[in-house]
Amino acid sequence: MIHLYHKGTNENTLLLLHGTGGDENDLREIGRIIDNEANILSVRGSIQEGGMNRFFKRLSPGVFDLEDLEVRTKGLANFINEASQKYGFDRKKVIAIGYSNGANIVASMLFSHKNALSGAILLRPMVPRRDMELVNNDDTRVFIAGGKYDSICPPKEAKELAAYLESKNKEVKLEWINADHRLTYEELLIIKEWYLQRFM
């Protein structure tokens, strides 16, 4: 996978996963806001849709190709394992920050890979799939930021995702943001406070 890695000064690693059309540089500033001392592992989606980078295929807007999603989710989990060996970061201290399409593949990992992440910050996510029993993530804390006026990832999706995850993860916090699909600086400060209380 095309990616960038920056070694930090604490033991946490932020896994950054962009939205549709983004690349490995998109969320770097967000990562610095949340924890400017963490390692940064930022990945570019390897699927192309109309010239835009994505992490998995979809059949139409809002309709995911579940077979491809499963393959890509497994590939991302394997990549994290390989990167931890290559760069020497603690595999048990990886916190993912995903936006839109990036949030959806992180959510897919939470559904299918036990304790793959220490934490997950899902920005404008959708429910990745409704056809499987979720694994238990006894050590994983999840923050979901849903946009009240989001027409791309509707609020009902964030609410349903939180309901799916609540019984299988150590903690799930759903925060409603007074915004549409775009991110706000104010929500990043809320997320930072949540993050510092749990991972520092």
- Residues recognised as catalytic: 100, 150, 181
**Positive or negative: CA dihedral 10, 13, 18, 24:** positive
Neighbours of 62 (CB within 10 A): 11
Is the distance from CB of 145 to CB of 191 less than 8 angstroms?
yes
Measured distance CA(42)–CA(14) in Å, rounded: 8
Is the distance from CB of 152 to CB of 123 less than 8 angstroms?
no
CA 77-78-81 angle, to 5 degrees, is 90
Is the distance from CB of 142 to CB of 97 less than 8 angstroms?
no
